[in-house]
Structure 1
């Protein structure tokens, strides 16, 4: 129903591309308002405008979904000055992954991810919250000395993407959507061709912070704009 697996299908190919929005608008929010019960969601935050939903894919994968209609990463509302920072809200909910697995996880073991417009199956913005692929923390550690706030080349799986190192308090003032929009002169007009992943990391000086990865669409190079491939819905990293 609302499974969002690793898929390169377009929204028109989904059995019901509005499934997530229907769950949010017709079930979770009304149930929360009328009965104080968020089901089938795990949480409804009406004040800040998002819900948390357990995905049926994986033992510990959750989704953050806005309670307003937003199609996805390309939604222009996300770049407005007063836009909610859904990434900060999602990072606050990362404990749910460890809770579902019965053990706490390091920040580097958890990732937040959003797919490009061409690599998603739903027409409602949603951020995946799940385990990182087991090899990623070590691979990203080579960037622990990168300049803060600067996009740097990231060699990964035979492709060249971009990574930005962020301080531990970055989400208090910075929004990954806006950082991606400023990556190049034309990025803001092509947000639908971007895919983003945010994960934690420990830097050379011992400080904790974040790595933000941008994986744009480039079909000629076999790059489908799905940073979800950097997550592991089986959570091998926790075993």
Structure 2
């Protein structure tokens, strides 16, 4: 598999090596991450889903990956595990899905906000080296803007014009420096529609110092709840989309949120910013 220098640099080589390899992201493990935890309860929407059917235990395991690129069960606990599942096909490594190995509908699941919830974006980041190409992006779509009811984080490349806009915004100091200012720090970023036409939309952007956070809880606490307090009754986790990528103009990562119903010219999914081809 062709791997870029950045992807090779980010390859997971064990906890100690990973921490040494990516000091720019300041990956400090939380107390919860090292504690022995109970099984993680599901958020099961019911019914069959092809993504879930392609990763679910006990058929799919770390030693029996079948059509998955990787499966990890921390402490042999499948309820806290994840799989790297193909998007289009097994040959396309620029279109991967990071999927919990417990049934979860999507971003709207309340159990994702719990203090002991797995840090799924951190787990997805740990799998970046499996992606072909460079300039990675991790993205999850809202309930409004997705077609499947099984939680999955897209692991793919960032769209080139989107990268240019993010870099310019970072260089100009437009990214929130703290999560407390994330709500009011907006940038316009170029995406593409299904016909390949470019279009700009608005995203709230925060320069976080690392990836070892529960970004669902951060999103709820720093954006959804404050919007609701402002009287925006349409605000809610089900309407949120989230994307994470590297800050190439400084340290850490860029965390981008958008939605269509809280007064910004936003989106209900992050597909326009992704380059899966």
Do structure 1's residue 97 and structure 2's residue 131 form an aligned pair?
A: yes
Is 1:209 the counterpart of 2:240 in the alignment? Answer: no
In the aligned structure 2, how far is the partner of 1:201 from the partner of 1:171? 12
Quote the Cα distance in structure 1 between the aligned partners of 2:121 and 2:225: 23
After TM superposition, list the pairs within 5 Å mapping 1:148-163 onto structure 2: 148-149=177-178, 150-151=181-182, 152-156=185-189, 157-163=199-205
- Matches for 1:79-94 after TM superposition, within 5 Å: 79-94=113-128
Alignment correspondent of 1:11? none
Q: Report the CA distance shift for 1:51/1:138 in structure 2 as closer, same or farther (over 3 A).
A: same
| CA displacement, residues 155-203 of structure 1 (integer Å, 9 cap, x when unaligned) | 2344332111112xx222x222122112142568710100011000123
1:127/1:224 CA distance change after superposition, 3 Å: same
Equivalent residues of 1:61, 1:128 under 8 A apart: yes
Give the gaps of 5 or more residues in structure 1: 1-15, 235-239
Q: Distance in 2 between matches of 1:137 and 1:44?
A: 30
> Once the two structures are superposed, what CA deviation does each residue of 1:51-74 show, in whole Å capped at 9, x if it has no partner?
111211655211010011110000
Paired with 1:153 and 1:62, the residues of 2 have a C-alpha distance of: 28
**Compared CA separation, residues 17 and 165, structure 1 to 2 (3 A):** farther
Residue in structure 2 matched with residue 32 of structure 1 by the alignment: 61
Counterpart of 1:8? Answer: none
Which of 123, 130, 133 matches 2:149?
Answer: 123
For normalisation by structure 1, the TM-score amounts to: 0.75
1:113 to 117, 120, 139: 139
Q: Which deviates the most, 16-25 or 117-126?
A: 16-25
Return the structure number with greater relative CO, CA threshold 8 A, min gap 6.
1
TM-score (norm 2): 0.66
Q: Aligned in 2, Cα 1:19/1:222: closer, same or farther, shift over 3 Å?
A: farther
Provide the C-alpha distance between the structure 1 equivalents of 2:142 and 2:269, rounded to a whole number of angstroms.
6
Q: Which has the larger radius of gyration?
A: 2
Give the match for residue 33 of structure 2.
Answer: none
Q: May I ask how many residue pairs the two structures share in their alignment?
A: 201
Unaligned runs of 5+ in 2: 1-46, 75-79, 190-198, 229-234
Say if 2:202 and 2:266, in contact at 8 Å, map to a contact too. no
